[in-house]
Structure 1
Amino acid sequence: MLYKSCPEEYPVTLYLNGKELLTIQLTEVDLQDWATGYLFAEGIIDSVEEIKEIRFDPYRGNIFTEVESERFDMEQFLKRRRILTAGCGRGVTFRSLKEVGQFKKIKSNITVPLSYIREKMKAFAKQTPLYLKTGGMHAAAIIQPDGELIVREDIGRHNAVDKAIGAALKKGLPGPELIMLTTGRISFEMCAKVAKFGIGIAASRTAATNLAVALGMEISIDLIGYCRGQSAVVYTKGQYIWKDTSAAQRAP
């Protein structure tokens, strides 16, 4: 029998401008990317230039972040309702359904054949060393304009997406020219993260939820589920995708 290593998760507390923001279960890799992506996805920053410092204390499991305080009102932010997200890793978001529903429509700069996304999903699966080592990790990937992948892994699917977005932000990549891939279910809050970055296409090896599809339809994000092998399910209008394969289905 082949034994794998255990997936790793640790409670990590995020401090923002000297105040505790939340504690979340994370895999302790690429934590700067996670902090950057999470702060951006929650609307705390609009660019990496607003981050003054990110420092990790591995002994206590703390991430200390400092952001420009002129635009950001910490006191008002902490009064917002915390919402536990669905699924593994049990993430936390401060964004309400109403707020996300008011996001601007996405204007992606790219259109691609569905076969391209399927091929990138195959390549993505080969670039997940923590999953291959443990068999129990999630991953997210950003397809860059040149076709290269930025891959990040974590115990939680939301965390992996935050890490991938953070890495892309640090590279200065424009959201409307990117595609998001994930091993996990695309839920409403994950779709919101994609929307905040301006990405127009997101694909998963599994499903997209009803609220994610409704959001995608409302603000022009194409969502693809069960993207594995030769199959794929397009849940939305498919405005950025060429349907060049008979295996593609449209969700009922």
Structure 2
Amino acid sequence: MRLSCPEEYPVTLFVNGKELSTYQLTKHDLIDWTYGHLFSEGIINSRNDIKKVHQSEGIVSVILKESVDFTSTEKKKKHRTSGCGNGVTFFSMSDVKKLPKVDTDLQLSLTYLLKKRHEFAKASTMYNETGGMHGACIVKRSGEIVVREDIGRHNAVDKIIGYALRNNLNPRELVLLTTGRVSYEMLAKSARFGFGIIGSRTAATKQAVQLANYLGVEVVGYIRGRMSLVYTKHGKVYNDLTAVSST
């Protein structure tokens, strides 16, 4: 089978007429990405903080409502993120530890997460066409899934957060699944939105697990086939498999 090449483009994000940064992105779902990225970075606190978004070739321009203080964000030091194009975040580890602990009543089995991971893989259209995309997926309480994809794992998560934000979804009722490594900044994005359960087909870093323990987030890694690794012990995911490793 011959796969097509994954595509990426430079996209510059302007907020209130000022350039925030230029990012390498896959063009699909850029409005979702804009909302999710601004929320993840603490620039907005809700979808209602954005007055207008305009998208043109290689540029996304956002006008915030007058009540939003963008100047405080501009003064923050930028931190390099791990992998995926050396992105930047305005959140340091100390900032993230100030986030409120997550609150969810979801309790799920590893069998259920493996099933949803399989559905996620089948629904990842761009990955299946190119073999070179990351994806992020939310699982609703009803079992319905929504998938967003991008060349970068951080961008994919921002897109799915933006989708949930724009559609006013309750994070208490959602699970986040991702194809990428769960690093501390990925955990920070997820916890800021309020996801109580995060699952990945690969690993979580030590810093991410430490932060997840502190914030009450359940992290499950290596969701593949009949495998899973539960990194945390918050009681939100239980082991109903016989051949599974848990720590």
Q: TM-score range by the shorter chain?
A: over 0.9
Q: TM-score normalized by structure 1?
A: 0.95
> 1:77 aligns to what?
73
Maintained 8 Å contact 1:150/1:168: no
- The aligned runs of 1:182-221 (5 Å cut-off) are 182-221=178-217
- Residue correspondence of structure 1 range 174-185 to structure 2 within 5 A: 174-185=170-181
**Could you tell me how far 1:238 is from its partner in structure 2?**
4.1
- Residue of structure 2 equivalent to 1:24: 23
2:4 match = 5
Structure 1 residue runs of 5 or longer lacking an equivalent are none
Choose 242-251 or 162-171, whichever is displaced more.
242-251
Moved over 4 A (4+): none
Q: Match for residue 42 of structure 1? A: 41
- Gaps in structure 2 of 5+ consecutive residues: none
The 3-state SS of whatever aligns with 2:62 is: strand
**Normalising by structure 2, what TM-score?**
0.97
Q: Which amino acid aligns with 1:63?
A: V
1:49 Cα deviation after fit: 1.2
Alpha-carbon shift at residue 54 of structure 1 (Å): 1.3
Query: Hey, what's the Cα distance between the residues in 2 that align with 1:151 and 1:90?
Result: 23
**Fraction of identical pairs, as percent:** 47
**Corresponding residue to 1:117 among 113, 116, 134:** 113
Q: Distance in 2 between matches of 1:69 and 1:39?
A: 16
Count of residues paired in the alignment = 247
* Cα shift at 1:76: 2.4
Match of residue 137, structure 1, among 133, 138, 148: 133
SS at match of 2:83: coil
Q: Residues of 2 paired with 1:75 and 1:173: CA distance?
A: 28
Q: Give 2:122's match in structure 1, choosing from 122, 126, 138.
A: 126
Give the deviation of 1:109 after TM superposition. 2.4
Range moving further from structure 2, 207-216 or 48-57:
48-57
User: 2: distance between equivalents of 1:195 and 1:209?
Assistant: 15
The aligned counterpart of 1:65 is 62
Q: Does structure 1 retain, via aligned residues, the 8 Å contact 2:216–2:234?
A: no
Aligned residue in 2 for 1:227: 223
* Distance (whole Å) between structure 2 residues aligned to residue 21 and residue 28 of structure 1: 18
Q: How far off its partner does 1:57 sit?
A: 1.0
Report the Cα distance in structure 2 between the residues aligned to 1:91 and 1:152, rounded to whole angstroms. Answer: 19
